[in-house]
Structure 1
Amino acid sequence: MAVETASLVDVAYENLLARITSFQVKAGAPLSEVKISKELNISRTPIREALQRLEKEGLVQRTEASRFTVAQISIKEVNDACDLLEILDTYIFTKASRTLSEEDAAELRRSVTQMSDASDANDRTAWTEADRNFHQILNRVAGNELVADTVRETRRRVQRFWIRSTVGQFDRLHTCTVEHGQLVDAIINKDVAAIGPAVTEHISHLRENVVSLLTTVALLTGDDQA
């Protein structure tokens, strides 16, 4: 029964995530558990758990009346988040490079290979999983849980929209994979001087793609994303 519930939570989560990141529902729009339950033919408990997961990722927020609505994400928030990611990723990668074992290095190489395979197959889900593994390895090796938690939550909020921006843009996954490979080379070689610029380039592309997506949506819908 628990397995079935977990599976239904995943179904509800993926459905709602797709609606939000494809802007099928606007920022501020209410997310009724009853309505969604009827639409998906799923009981309210999995729907509620899916909404709570999205709330943790910053894509959904709760009103004073404890009702769920779609969270606003502005261009300023994207820029603020990317500024923070640039600082914290540089810190994590630099710290991890000092104590990286051969086994950790091999895991990082495998994660980039998995990204490359997923990019070739245009499999965004598999690519995202490989990217998650990449950052989990480095967060673990760096050993600062407070920083890891902060960067994890910040990345989730922005990256969901970045993944959406890759739809029909096959080169974006490939470019991002190449950048991860360059980062791994710098980290494994303990080339601290190369880590900062590589992170800056990587985050700048993330920033550009998400801002471009939000700007396009604003032009099409008339919403102010400033």
Structure 2
Amino acid sequence: MIDQTATKRPIADQMYDVLLHQFMSGQRSAGQSLNIGALSRELDVSQTPLREALARLEHTGLVEREALRGYRVAPMMTRLEIQQLLEARLLLEPHLAEQAAARATPEFLAQLQETVDAFEESAEQADFETEGFDLYWRSDDRFHMLIANQAGNSFLAMAYAALGGQIQRFRLFSKFGRTGAKHAAPEHKAIYAAIAAGDGPGAAEAMSAHVTGATQRLLG
């Protein structure tokens, strides 16, 4: 399973990508046990880089470690967890968007536009193809992280990053047919337009609508 064209990359990095791809493709489902010995044999690598990759995935929220039992893929979010995540995001992300609008720079706007374009490109395939879902995942994550970092408060950015693992879990286990990417793409555009115009309240309102809409689409 090691990519021979990327042998200069640490094996742990390659295993991180392999496992993440397996999660996104549905090859390993929510709650499934991740036995390190079995993974080592299956992927033909030693256990040390696998342990490192799993430890990194644990920090994203996509993998959990249970005492005396090892690792497993994080379980599906409960309805209550989804509602609580929505509450947390609504407290944080509209404010980040408003502050990012006040501090927007040409470089930041160019980077944000790239994520908007990539997300729109993914919208048609995200619910049906692993590659489309991968682009959807990464562009969405970068869009929100760019805004958090541009808001100008490192503590709030750290708070978003800490929440980000659970947002990744939310994205991943929405799975194919339920991402709502077609609906989210114009929402990203609306957030971008408000930020680019320096309209802080408008950016906050657009972000609130987006976060709420994403949750309603998953629950619906």
- The whole-number CA distance in structure 2 between the counterparts of 1:91 and 1:31 is 38
**Number of positions where the alignment pairs a residue of Structure 1 with one of Structure 2:** 207
Of the three residues 3, 8, 12, the one matched with 2:9 is 3
Q: Using the aligned pairs only, state the percent identity.
A: 23
1:217 matched residue in structure 2: none
1:131, CA displacement in angstroms? 2.1
CA RMSD of aligned residues (A): 2.7
1:88, CA displacement in angstroms? 1.0
**In the alignment, is the contact (CA less than 8 A) between 1:58 and 1:157 conserved in 2?**
yes
What pairs up with 1:2-41 in 2 under 5 angstroms?
3-5=9-11, 6-15=13-22, 17-18=23-24, 22=26, 25=29, 27=31, 30-41=33-44
Quick one: structure 1 residues 81 and 190, their matched pair in 2 at CA, closer, same or farther if it must change by over 3 Å? same
Quick one: structure 1 residues 210 and 158, their matched pair in 2 at CA, closer, same or farther if it must change by over 3 Å? farther
- The whole-number CA distance in structure 1 between the counterparts of 2:36 and 2:103 is 47
Under a length normalisation based on structure 1, what TM-score does the superposition of the two structures give? 0.77
**In the alignment, is the contact (CA less than 8 A) between 2:28 and 2:73 conserved in 1?**
no
2:214 matched residue in structure 1: 206
What pairs up with 1:71-220 in 2 under 5 angstroms?
71-72=74-75, 73-122=77-126, 123-165=132-174, 167-168=176-177, 172-212=180-220
Q: Decide which structure has greater helix share.
A: 1
Query: Any stretches of 5+ residues in structure 2 without a counterpart?
Result: 1-6, 127-131
Write the letter of the residue equivalent to 2:47. Answer: R
- The whole-number CA distance in structure 1 between the counterparts of 2:167 and 2:103 is 29
2:71 matched residue in structure 1: 68
**In the alignment, is the contact (CA less than 8 A) between 2:178 and 2:217 conserved in 1?**
no
